Chains A and B, each alone.
Chain A
Amino acid sequence: DTAVSQTPKYLVTQMGNDKSIKCEQNLGHDTMYWYKQDSKKFLKIMFSYNNKELIINETVPNRFSPKSPDKAHLNLHINSLELGDSAVYFCASSQDRAYGYTFGSGTRLTVV
């Protein structure tokens, strides 16, 4: 049973399209995150939800909108995709800051 699962694993789409990435965790954690990893492996936090409430909203274009229907799910919707959005997007969850994160396996988004 995968602890943090993301779908899809790969996503290739054209500029201007709208796409969604889904994330689910079965660990019972209260907090979930979206991170973006660029081609140089640099990780940048985008959003975080705690019990369905948005608690971290970094400087991210308005085209990105997270949604958390319940504490086990955190989805990411991206409007009007641009070439610069190409990256690997990771979902993660945690329960306590002392225990660290559990990451999903990532969604590789390629915008052409």
Chain B
Amino acid sequence: GNSVTQMEGPVTLSEEAFLTINCTYTATGYPSLFWYVQYPGEGLQLLLKATKADDKGSNKGFEATYRKETTSFHLEKGSVQVSDSAVYFCALNSGGYQKVTFGIGTKLQVIP
């Protein structure tokens, strides 16, 4: 079956530091890949997505590139802010009726 593996965290960074959250996946076929963000007390929001190999998703300074050869979709940001503190979920969708498989979520804490 499908699976998504990401670091559990928490990841603690100082403001303006570089962020990488690793995500690797196992799936049949050609999945679509996603990063979602959950701020405290809120629901998940779609942060970015990529639907085919070598696509780069980007939003709010975050980027992730769909790497089929390494089955990875690592999330990066060049300079994090305190407001980026949240839980980040990597996810994939390869089946019919859009059943999405989520990773365990990585908590990011950015300190001033």
Residues in chain A within 8 A of chain B (CB atoms): 4, 31, 40-43, 45, 48, 50, 55-56, 90, 92, 94, 96-106
14 A-B residue contacts at CB 8 Å? A40-B104, A41-B105, A43-B89, A45-B99, A48-B97, A48-B98, A55-B97, A92-B44, A98-B49, A100-B32, A100-B36, A101-B44, A101-B100, A103-B45
**Is B46 at the interface (CB under 8 A from chain A)?**
yes
Check B43 against A31 for contact (C-beta < 8 Å).
no
Minimal Cβ-Cβ distance residue in B for A29: B98
Q: Which of B44, B45, B104 contacts A42 (CB 8 A)?
A: B104
Residues in chain B within 8 A of chain A (CB atoms): 32, 34, 36, 38, 42-46, 49, 51, 87, 89, 91, 93, 97-100, 102, 104-105, 107
- Shortest A112–chain B CB gap in Å is 20
- Per the bound structure, the CA–CA distance linking A90 and B43 in Å amounts to 7
Check A48 against B43 for contact (C-beta < 8 Å).
no
